[in-house]
A and B are shown apart, each in its own frame.
Chain A
């Protein structure tokens, strides 16, 4: 699946969720992956926009996910990011990458 079509799907899913939410309670919709992704902010800036280490905003979900998988595989050495990448489940990595990709 291309990045574009995946993004479209997510957009559709988000819209569907919003509709459901507005029909039900007044509950504020919390974007999936935002709280998870906020673990990145301490070192990569609020919303991944710096200041700090590499800026994450503007990257695609696929790119971000692949980088984390590479860190986890040990291909990027034994630094602090390798350690950090091992703390998430695969589903969590996809979720936080997806949310970060919405930041421009």
Chain B
């Protein structure tokens, strides 16, 4: 209801005309931009191909931008539910009051004005992977030569939690982030907070650990005597083990109580109790319940969830085309795809560029680059003023058909410092500019 209102009537009718007129590619002209930003990519007078991008997060926004920047006459329509994007990256800093939600909000204006992307704010209800059509909630059908899906993640239902907001995940930045921040703020000193880490693969591998460190540091100062119980469903810290182990046992040793192999099986929201697989029962004044994850609902609805026990979408990492038979016109990038790369915004941006490059070649009758390279680089908050960094580089391996991490280029900083915390701000600004500006 709320979302539908954002379907701007003018943009939408223009799109419905151009995107649906599949047999009229040569003469179709793009609607003009209303923004004052200088267009980097002039509006094409000749549309040679059409691509629909579903999802305006880090992956979807980047692929839309780069298809316009690198493509020759590729008309790009980005379909997204919300008129603005809220960054998940850096959103744990909202919990400690170091960032505002507004500072994490991004618009699609530049995508339209500078790159000539058409945006449609609406809900996709169906994707036909064979005919490359997308059906919106109002029954409008959009048609393209290729579809790029970047619907991100969705969460498993937690038994006992239902739709209660008493145990927010705050793992998709938005109202849940604000809610968790408020719950932490009103927690009594000497209270107990619980943070749960789901089984891999989940969005942002170091994310829950860095959040635990950050919140522990904040609790130590703001809520003296409080404890943070970390319930990790995995057998061990899944990434950056040295730094997080040292931080958990060292500077946060008086606050953090870490349990491995502690998968939450069910909860009782009324008593704020969590029941784990080992028979352990934990109670918290505040519970940050991060459930297990799967690809955004459209992936399974389209039948593309053929990897990771049906949770994510298998892709050919040369082009990110679906590996589901008959769905080769659909490409899946970012967190909803199953690759050897982490599910994270920084590498999603690079996956998007590989996909955009491949599509420009494919749509012009060529083949994708046979040796793509991607990198994942990020910073983790270890305290409210210090950070560590984590890096990995991936080279395509033709034998396995996967992106393989280069050992020498994969690893973390030895320790953490204030310089890296400052670099983190710069890194974030640059990444968001490469994606949204």
Residues in chain A within 8 A of chain B (CB atoms): 25-28, 30, 34-36, 38-39, 41-46, 50-53, 78-80, 83-88, 92
Q: Across chains A and B, which 4 residue pairs bring their CB atoms closest together, nearest first?
A: A87-B393, A52-B430, A87-B409, A28-B364
Q: How many residue pairs, one in A and one in B, have C-beta atoms under 8 Å apart?
A: 109
Contact call A27/B361, Cβ cutoff below 8 A: yes
Inter-chain contacts of A36 with B (CB < 8 A): 373
| Cβ contact within 8 Å between A51 and B431 | no
- Whether A86 lies near B353 (C-beta < 8 A) is no
> B155 interface residue, CB < 8 Å from A?
no
List 20 additional A-B contacts (Cβ < 8 Å) besides A27-B366, A34-B357, A87-B375. A25-B364, A25-B366, A26-B365, A27-B361, A28-B366, A35-B357, A35-B373, A38-B350, A42-B349, A42-B430, A43-B427, A43-B431, A44-B430, A52-B433, A53-B426, A80-B389, A83-B411, A86-B409, A87-B394, A87-B406
Taking a contact as CB atoms closer than 8 A, the residue among B410, B414, B433 that contacts A46 in the complex is: B433
User: How distant is the Cα of A83 from the Cα of B406 in the complex, in angstroms?
Assistant: 10
Residues of chain A with a CB closer than 8 A to B353's CB = 35, 38, 41
Q: Annotate B110-145 by CB proximity to A: 1 below 8 A, 0 otherwise.
A: 000000000000000000000000000000000000
For A45, the chain B residues whose CB sits under 8 A away are 430, 433-434
B234 CB to closest chain A CB, in angstroms? 24
CA A65 – CA B72 in complex, angstroms? Answer: 30
User: Which residue on chain B has the smallest CB distance to residue A72?
Assistant: B408
B425 to chain A, nearest CB (A): 11
A92–B366 CB distance below 8 A: no
- Write the nearest CB–CB distance from A41 to chain B, whole angstroms: 5
B373 with A39: CB separation less than 8 A: yes
> B430 is contacted by which of A26, A38, A53, A80 (Cβ under 8 Å)?
A53
* Residue B70 CB within 8 A of the other chain: yes
- Tell me which residues across on chain A come within 8 A of B410, comparing CB atoms: 83, 87
Residues of B within 8 A of A92 (CB): 373
Report A-chain residues with C-beta under 8 Å of the C-beta of B381.
none
CA distance A52 to B72 in the complex (A): 28
CA distance A28 to B346 in the complex (A): 28
Q: Closest CB of chain B to A37's CB: distance in Å?
A: 10
**Contact of B86 with A by CB under 8 A:** no
Known: A35-B354, A38-B350. A84 touches B433 (CB 8 A): no
B372 and A35 contacting across the interface, CB-CB below 8 Å: yes
B385-400: CB near A (< 8 Å → 1, else 0) gives 0000101011100000
Q: Do residues B374 and A86 form an inter-chain contact, with CB atoms below 8 A?
A: no
**CA A44 to CA B429, docked complex, whole Å:** 10
Known contacts A45-B434, A87-B375: A35-B369 contact under CB 8 Å = yes
Please give the distance in Å from A81's CB to the nearest CB on chain B.
Answer: 9
Asked if B178 lies at the interface with its beta carbon under 8 angstroms from chain A, I say no
Q: Does B413 contact A (CB under 8 A)?
A: yes
Question: Which residues does chain B contribute within 8 Å of A27, judged by CB atoms?
Answer: 361, 364-366
Report the nearest B residue to A51, measured CB to CB: B433
CB-based contact A30/B357 at 8 Å: yes
In the complex, B307 has a CB within 8 A of chain A: no
Closest residue on chain A to residue B379 by CB atoms: A80
**CA gap between A45 and B70 in the complex, in Å:** 16
B360 at the interface (CB under 8 A from A): yes
B377 at the interface (CB under 8 A from A): yes
Q: Which residues of chain B have C-beta atoms less than 8 A from A41's C-beta?
A: 353, 434
Contacting residues, chain B, for A83 (C-beta < 8 A):
391, 393, 409-411
Residues of A within 8 A of B406 (CB): 86-87
Q: CA–CA, A43 to B426, complex, Å? A: 8
A79: B residues at CB distance < 8 A = 389, 413
Residues of A contacting B372 with CB < 8 Å?
35
B367 to chain A, nearest CB (A): 9
- Inter-chain contact A43/B430, CB cutoff 8 Å: yes
A50 to B430 CA separation, bound complex (whole angstroms): 7
Per the 8 Å Cβ criterion, residues 417-437 of B in contact with A are 423, 426-427, 429-431, 433-434, 437
User: Would you give the shortest CB distance from B27 to chain A, in whole angstroms?
Assistant: 18
Distance A41 CA – B437 CA, assembled complex (angstroms): 12
One of A39, A53, A86 near B408 (C-beta < 8 A): A86
